[in-house]
Structure 1
Amino acid sequence: MAILFIILGGFLVLGILFWMIGVRVIPNDKIAVVEKWWSPKGALDEKIIALNGEAGYQPELLRGGIHILSPLMYKVHKCSLVTIPQGEIAYVFARDGKPLDPTQTLGEVIVEGNNFQNVRGFLNHGGQKGPQRGIVREGTYAFNLAQFIIITNHKTYYLPLGSKSEEGSIENMAKILKERNGFTPIVIKGSDDEVGIVTVHDGPSLNKNDIIAPTVGDDASNNMTYHNNFQDSEKFLKAGGFRGRQHQVLVEGTYFINRLFATVQFIEKTIVDVGFVGVVVSYIGPRGEDSSGEGYKHGELVKEGCRGVWNKPLMPGKYAFNTYSGKIVTVPTTNIILKWISNQSGTHSYDENLKEVTLITKDAFQPSLPLSVVLHIDYKKAPLVIQRFGDIKKLVDQTLDPMVSAYFKNIGQTKTLIQLIQDRSDIQEISSEEMKVKFGHYNLDLEEVLIGTPSSSENDNKIEDILTQLRERQIALERIETYSQQEKAAVKEKEFREAESRAAQQQFLTESEINIEIQSNKGKAEYRRALEEASKIKAIAEAEAEKEARIGVGKAIAVDEQVKAYGGPQYQVMQEIMSKFTQAIEKSQTKIVPETLVTMGGAEGNSGNVFEMLMGMLISEKLGVDFNKNSEEVKDDRAKKIKDSILNSLNNENKDDFKDDNTPIIE
């Protein structure tokens, strides 16, 4: 035990001896901040770092190794080396240095400070206290933690000085940096189609007429002012940059930007689709010369980069456009369809507030007229349209709607309802031509006006009644036309059937035509034979007539002679009658003489057969023979009648023939 105590005592004495001598051992992964207790040069008043050997924190550090410093004069504060991981950023807060100017928020970057590792160079060359513009990238650094407070993503490195307000300020600063995601670089990916809008928090303020800071220091050939997209804050300010939102934007890439100096907001790129152009309305830039011409009185068009409406639109594509420095109004270059129809709108939705035009016709109807207008905007004239109206929606609502409505109201007053319906095509054609001039006045190209069918309101059925009558009238006309066509079809069908039948009976028709020709020839032959036979018969007849005539004449002469011989014609007549009567009785076998004859007494002239007397009286009465006439008179009269009868017969039948043969007619 005694030996143990002796050994421990020896180590204790040795340690006290080393301490009194001032031997300090610093590991290689550590640094030591030297604090001087006292000095013949006195103490510091307002500073923290003693640059001239005064009492206080010394600017130089003790690195790894053995150092001899008297504990009676120096206090050594061992600190860890600061390591910044790859892909991260560390921020620096200086405890000592020149105060910041009233317009400054961050201390200047001092190149001689060797990235904040040379405290003496930092302070001797005007280093400022407070948060610094410069940042620390990945690596291991030996910082004097009495002068600089290093804020990293996971830890804050500093040498406590016992000030609660300082600790609160450091904690607040670290909190702000975390909120701004300030410990990692800004990465903008091309796949995100985003751009970064930068807001600088240090530097001189903007003029009262500026709303956004102009682009400065973007010329990579000028090494003195090229700040490489806000990554070199000192060069940005040297180039004349202002605090506030910047016109220059960040595109795809990785940027190590001090978030205390500048913050970044992400917005989407402006895309001008195919079928559109983008008219730029710039809020910044110098005043440019008007390029719209003297005849254009609705505003000015300026060149690119000037304040106002640019005279050249952006063609389809993606643009890293700062929407805080201006706006891009997309104007369709394809056909725009505007529908004056309730609850309907075109592809671009510019007509969502439009509805049917209410008309008052000449005959006092109030129909609603649906319309569609097809128009086109020349991409070269798109800036003129935007300069005049602001956007296409305002153009439609404030100008085209009242103009088109008034035009068709005027047309409606000159037309009856039926004319409005029946003349729709003519009205459509005329309105298209006339309204092209009106649309051209607004730098628009009218393609076509399309007119729909007028309709009535919900509580008015009169227009529908008119339309019903027109439909019925048209149906009647169509029926007439249908019947006419059907009639023509029937005629054609009949002709077709006849042709078809004729074709089917062609053989028989041919044969019949041949037969007709044969029969015709036969008929002609028979006709000739008939003519010859007729001539023969005529000749025979003439001969027979002449024969009969001559026989008749002979008979007449014979009768005349008989009459003369028998004493008169009445006897000849009686003879003939009695002969006929006798023959009739004989054939009928009638008993005309009774078996018993009763005779009556009387005068002598009255005796005889009673039947004979009755027949005599009957015959004489029917024949008109007067038996009391003289026989000569009766004879002459009878002969004359027979003669006349024969002569008449001969004259009527053969008179011409006798004349042809030069034969004398019997008189």
Structure 2
Amino acid sequence: MDGSPQTALLVMLIAAAVILFLTTVSLKSTHRIGPTEVGLVTKRFSRRRLADDNPVAFAGEAGYQADLLMPGQRFKLWPVYSVTKFPWVQVPAGEIGVVIAQVGAPLPIGAKSARYRPEFANFSDLRSFLAHGGEKGVQRPVLPPGTLVPIHPVAFVVITAREVFGVPVAPELQALAAHRELTPAAFGLTPERLRVMVISPHGDRDVIGLVTVLEGEPLPSGDLASRLGGFGDITAMEASADTTDAEIIDVLLGSKNELHNNYQDFQAFLDAGGRIGLQHDPLLYGAYLLNPFLVMVELVPMLVVNQGQVAVIKAFVGLPTLDTSGTDFKFGSIVRPGHRGIWQEPLRTGKYAINPRIYAAELVPTFILTLNWANLMSTAHDLDARLEPIVGKSREGFVFTIDLQVQIHVSDGRAPRVISMVGTMLNLVNEVLQSAVGNHFRNTLQALEAIRFIETRHEVQQAAFTAITQYLAGYEVETKGVYIQDVVFPPELVEVLTHREIANQQRATYEEQQRAETVRVQMEKARGTADMQAELAAAAVSVEISGNKAKAREAEAGGQAAYVRLTGQAEADRTQAVGLAEAKATEALGLARAAGFQAQRDAIGDVPTALVALANAIAEGKINIVPEVLVTGGSSLDGLAATLMRALHEGKVPLPQQDGRIPQQGRG
């Protein structure tokens, strides 16, 4: 070459180009990585090619390089390498970061997440991850809130509630990332599931978290939920005769969550024998970092047993059913805690973190339960919400509406047997009591007249108490009282009763008026008595004087009467003595005559004796021989003979008797 100006110019241009190229290469090869950034190196040219299933180069292959550029001034020769800056993965407070590995060994068949080893740390060392057997897919641990770590943006995709870190290799996700539309929804997640799970009271309600695990070995046949270790510990406790039901319940309601840090260490959960599906042990109050791809939590109310209640537990998991109720009980199985069936020991007052999906609790009031068959229900419970007033007809067809109150009691020791028979307390009220009480009162009303029911309301109530007591005894429920609260009568009966009551009230009014008039008369009499008190006093004195005089006369008359009585008695005694003497004389005379007549009869015969007696009678004037009617003609002897014959014929001249006396005859 000569030293012509053209040559010099050419050399200068070449030198300038070289300098420009070198400057350009130097500038493009020098990268300033910020303090919270990493540089992703991409190699454009290489004789080696990546495997189809690996997007990151570890041995100088073309493509994304495994080694990142850390913060500071870094040099990578351009154009062989290109560098893309990515922010460090930062997880805000209250959120978690879910890590998805796009490099590593494939997952085992059926696995949904990759095994985790402590060597993986926070996934910031990609070579260590692969060297210790890291697998592709969802990683089991999550990044906690506040994490700030340089993670390879191609080897791992980190999902938080606000953004997605990394470069997805799936074509459909790459398109979304190119348009800056890559969100948690692209991975089937919502922002809420990427936040810290906080379990705390909801107002005045206590809650627990029911856990459902989405990966693990399948449950044993017939099991509904997974309990670490199964129920082998319960079997061991039952082998001891000293173990009580309460102790078994404490173990069942206890938690084994400490073995896997409350499902936060999912790898430890699986290593401890955790199974897929619903979990036996719930989560209590706290904040938990749970992988949303592996663990789901449902908040449900905690079982709260208040004073005056017990909770009867129906267990759907546990050891096989072993009935302890005896052969006489025909209403299901009563079992010890830890077995499937209704536990023979209820839960007393307290709060229990028990899974309601596998342990159904029926709250049974143990206080005296008041049930109202009325339009207003009890404020202490809602068991009588469906009870209505009882409607029935009397014998005459009157329709009654009765508001009724029934008080029952279920003892805590009998509660499991009651629930085994009826299922729930609501069934006891709506299916057992409602029909029994309603039918009893309807039958009673139908057999009574309306007025009779009203008059014997107390007896009807007592009969209902006896009948319901006997009926509920079959369900081991005590009846404490049956009360008829109110009775709504038909209008026509009310009208009749109203008229009757009005009449009764009027009668009562008249009686009161009569009593008032009587009192008024007595008052007027008292007033008149008071006004005439002086005269009454004088009259009383006069009465007393007259009484004294009357007593004097009475005494005088008494004396005279005594004198007369004594005198009369003496005269009577004298007369009796005289009469007795005369009677004795007459008797003696008669006996003498009788003896003479008898002797005369014996001597002269009956007829002559009669003629002699007749002559004596005529002589004594006992027979009238003068005719009452004088008839002329004939002789006087004929008249005398006729008279005599008539006297004999008429019995006026009797024959002498045995004592000699002739009976006295009156005149014709």
For the criterion TM > 0.5, the same-fold answer is yes
Aligned residues: 510
2:384 maps to 1:350: yes
SS across alignment from 2:297: strand
Larger CA Rg, structure 1 vs 2: 1
Distance 1:345 1:46, change over 3 A: closer
Which consecutive residues of structure 2, in runs of 5 or more, have no partner in the other structure? 1-8, 231-250, 553-668
1:434-583 equivalence runs, <5 A: 434-451=467-484, 461=492, 464=493, 472=499, 476=503, 479-480=506-507, 482-495=509-522, 509=533, 513=537
User: Residue 378 of structure 1 corresponds to which residue in structure 2?
Assistant: 410
Report the Cα distance in structure 1 between the residues aligned to 2:38 and 2:73, rounded to whole angstroms. Answer: 12
SS across alignment from 2:453: helix
1:244-259 equivalence runs, <5 A: 244-259=277-292
Which stretch of the first structure deviates more once superposed, 493-502 or 282-291?
Answer: 493-502
Which stretch of the first structure deviates more once superposed, 130-139 or 196-205?
Answer: 196-205
Quote the offset at 1:287 in angstroms.
Answer: 3.2
Report the Cα distance in structure 1 between the residues aligned to 2:257 and 2:161, rounded to whole angstroms. Answer: 32
Quote the offset at 1:117 in angstroms.
Answer: 0.9
Deviations, residues 353-408 of structure 1 (Å, cap 9, x unaligned): 545343463xx546446251412232413332222212233223332233334434
User: Residue 192 of structure 2 corresponds to which residue in structure 1?
Assistant: 181
User: Residue 209 of structure 1 corresponds to which residue in structure 2?
Assistant: 222
2:456 to 423, 428, 433: 423
1:131 to 106, 118, 138: 138
2:430 maps to 1:397: yes
Distance 1:520 1:83, change over 3 A: closer
Distance 1:519 1:309, change over 3 A: closer
SS across alignment from 2:267: helix
Quote the offset at 1:429 in angstroms.
Answer: 1.6
Aligned residues of 1:351 and 1:396 also touching (Cα < 8 A): no
2:164 maps to 1:143: no
Which consecutive residues of structure 1, in runs of 5 or more, have no partner in the other structure? 529-667
Which stretch of the first structure deviates more once superposed, 229-238 or 349-358?
Answer: 349-358
Report the Cα distance in structure 1 between the residues aligned to 2:408 and 2:118, rounded to whole angstroms. Answer: 61
Distance 1:397 1:136, change over 3 A: closer
Report the Cα distance in structure 1 between the residues aligned to 2:486 and 2:92, rounded to whole angstroms. Answer: 75
Aligned residues of 2:25 and 2:79 also touching (Cα < 8 A): no
Percent sequence identity over matched residues? 27
Q: CA RMSD in A?
A: 4.5
Aligned residues of 1:373 and 1:450 also touching (Cα < 8 A): yes
Quote the offset at 1:27 in angstroms.
Answer: 4.7
Which stretch of the first structure deviates more once superposed, 442-451 or 408-417?
Answer: 408-417
Deviations, residues 555-592 of structure 1 (Å, cap 9, x unaligned): xxxxxxxxxxxxxxxxxxxxxxxxxxxxxxxxxxxxxx
Report the Cα distance in structure 2 between the residues aligned to 1:223 and 1:378, rounded to whole angstroms. Answer: 35
1:45-194 equivalence runs, <5 A: 46-51=53-58, 57-65=64-72, 76-137=83-144, 138-159=146-167, 163-164=171-172, 171=182, 173-176=184-187, 179-192=190-203, 193=205, 194=207
Report the Cα distance in structure 1 between the residues aligned to 2:326 and 2:217, rounded to whole angstroms. Answer: 39
In structure 2, what residue type is equivalent to 1:228? N
Report the Cα distance in structure 1 between the residues aligned to 2:168 and 2:478, rounded to whole angstroms. Answer: 76
1:32 to 35, 39, 46: 39
Deviations, residues 280-336 of structure 1 (Å, cap 9, x unaligned): 333333335434344321112334454333334444555545433343333334444
SS across alignment from 2:194: coil
Q: Given the two structures, how large is their TM-score scaled by the length of structure 1?
A: 0.64
Quote the offset at 1:523 in angstroms.
Answer: 13
2:329 to 296, 310, 316: 296
Distance 1:84 1:403, change over 3 A: closer
Quote the offset at 1:145 in angstroms.
Answer: 1.7
Aligned residues of 1:277 and 1:331 also touching (Cα < 8 A): yes
In structure 2, what residue type is equivalent to 1:142? P
Quote the offset at 1:165 in angstroms.
Answer: 5.3
Quote the offset at 1:479 in angstroms.
Answer: 4.8
Quote the offset at 1:427 in angstroms.
Answer: 2.2
Deviations, residues 519-561 of structure 1 (Å, cap 9, x unaligned): 9889999xx9xxxxxxxxxxxxxxxxxxxxxxxxxxxxxxxxx
Quote the offset at 1:131 in angstroms.
Answer: 2.0
SS across alignment from 2:68: strand
User: Residue 328 of structure 1 corresponds to which residue in structure 2?
Assistant: 361
Deviations, residues 143-181 of structure 1 (Å, cap 9, x unaligned): 122311222333322247694455569947554565251
Aligned residues of 2:335 and 2:342 also touching (Cα < 8 A): yes
Distance 1:52 1:225, change over 3 A: farther
In structure 2, what residue type is equivalent to 1:89? I
2:341 maps to 1:308: yes
Report the Cα distance in structure 2 between the residues aligned to 1:54 and 1:14, rounded to whole angstroms. Answer: 25
Quote the offset at 1:24 in angstroms.
Answer: 6.3
SS across alignment from 1:254: strand
Aligned residues of 1:35 and 1:56 also touching (Cα < 8 A): yes
User: Residue 297 of structure 2 corresponds to which residue in structure 1?
Assistant: 264
Report the Cα distance in structure 1 between the residues aligned to 2:22 and 2:487, rounded to whole angstroms. Answer: 116
Shift >6 Å, 4+ stretches: 4-10, 37-42, 215-219, 221-225, 452-458, 518-525
User: Residue 195 of structure 1 corresponds to which residue in structure 2?
Assistant: 208
Distance 1:6 1:123, change over 3 A: closer
Aligned residues of 1:375 and 1:444 also touching (Cα < 8 A): no
Deviations, residues 57-83 of structure 1 (Å, cap 9, x unaligned): 444433234556666876554433223
2:440 to 377, 383, 407: 407
Distance 1:85 1:494, change over 3 A: same
Quote the offset at 1:237 in angstroms.
Answer: 1.7
Q: Given the two structures, how large is their TM-score scaled by the length of structure 2?
A: 0.64
Report the Cα distance in structure 1 between the residues aligned to 2:257 and 2:373, rounded to whole angstroms. Answer: 62
Distance 1:29 1:431, change over 3 A: closer
SS across alignment from 1:250: coil
Quote the offset at 1:10 in angstroms.
Answer: 8.1
In structure 2, what residue type is equivalent to 1:190? P
User: Residue 648 of structure 1 corresponds to which residue in structure 2?
Assistant: none
Report the Cα distance in structure 2 between the residues aligned to 1:338 and 1:25, rounded to whole angstroms. Answer: 81
Which stretch of the first structure deviates more once superposed, 102-111 or 171-180?
Answer: 171-180
User: Residue 584 of structure 2 corresponds to which residue in structure 1?
Assistant: none
Aligned residues of 1:359 and 1:408 also touching (Cα < 8 A): no
Aligned residues of 2:50 and 2:56 also touching (Cα < 8 A): no
Report the Cα distance in structure 1 between the residues aligned to 2:187 and 2:534, rounded to whole angstroms. Answer: 118
Quote the offset at 1:278 in angstroms.
Answer: 3.4
Aligned residues of 1:225 and 1:235 also touching (Cα < 8 A): no
